[in-house]
Amino acid sequence: MLNNLFEETSRQEEPKAFIVANCENASYGGTICAERNAITTALSKGYRKFKAIAVVTELQEPASPCGMCRQFLVEFGNCRVLMGSSRGGDVTETSVVELLPNAFTPAALEIHDEEEEKSE
């Protein structure tokens, strides 16, 4: 799987793209999906807001990010998700929130902290 992560930039700047791949491991827990690889690569370079992520697979049909990656992505906002196949065909467009409705986000933690402070 290959991902392109596009960083949100001002209109004057060219968008930054981070092109990464997943890293399979014999121990499944050690596998790093391309989506998480893209986010952590961008974070390590100081980027925090993302416009879109493109997920490209070698499968016949486009594939969407796994559940863990959906949760990881939603932590950074609701960017566009483009899914396609290197074999051609249609590209499917959606958003992180559409892939993970009712997501648990950092905002839920902030609300919890505020409620705790009120009850003290």
- What are the residue numbers of the active site? 35
Show the tokens assigned to 65: 């990010």
β-pair partners for 56? 2, 84
CA–CA distance, 17 with 14 (Å, rounded to integer):
9
Residue 119, CB-side half-sphere exposure with 13 Å CA sphere: 6
CA–CA distance, 72 with 108 (Å, rounded to integer):
15
